[in-house]
Amino acid sequence: MDTHKTTKENISPFEALDYIRNNAEAFAKAKAHVTYMMEYRKSLKAILMRECIDKTESAKMSYAYSHPTYIQHLKALQEAVAIAEHLRWWMVGAEAKIEVWRSLEASNRAEGKLTQ
């Protein structure tokens, strides 16, 4: 028996729309946070390179990339991306539910025309 059969009764487009509306701000903030952290990563690298007492560019880059503050920033960026992607995929899922509901409604309308 197919227990995963999708029917109009077990898909609520209104719940999906509510989810999108209720989480849009959190998703926008998460996305903005990721963008900020990506851009700040460049500033942090420059700050750390200026801190380095070595003269060569490669030594300065090595210092910056291996600095605990830079590594900590990368870990925070990883977490920010995970949060934003989690929210994004839940949004995509809600949009997909709405599309499935639309398709089922169209099919039901077509079936109704055939039986009349």
Q: Within a domain: residue 2?
A: no
Q: Within a domain: residue 6?
A: no
The pLDDT mean for the chain works out to 90
8 A C-beta contact, residue 72 and residue 29 = no
92 half-sphere exposure, CB direction, 13 A CA radius: 6
Residue 84: domain span: 12-110
What local confidence, expressed as pLDDT, does residue 2 receive?
A: 45
Q: Within a domain: residue 49?
A: yes
The predicted-structure confidence for 32-58, as pLDDT tens digits, reads as follows 999 999 999 999 999 999 999 999 999
d(C-alpha 63, C-alpha 70), whole Å: 10
Domain count, the chain: 1
Q: Within a domain: residue 88?
A: yes
d(C-alpha 46, C-alpha 40), whole Å: 10
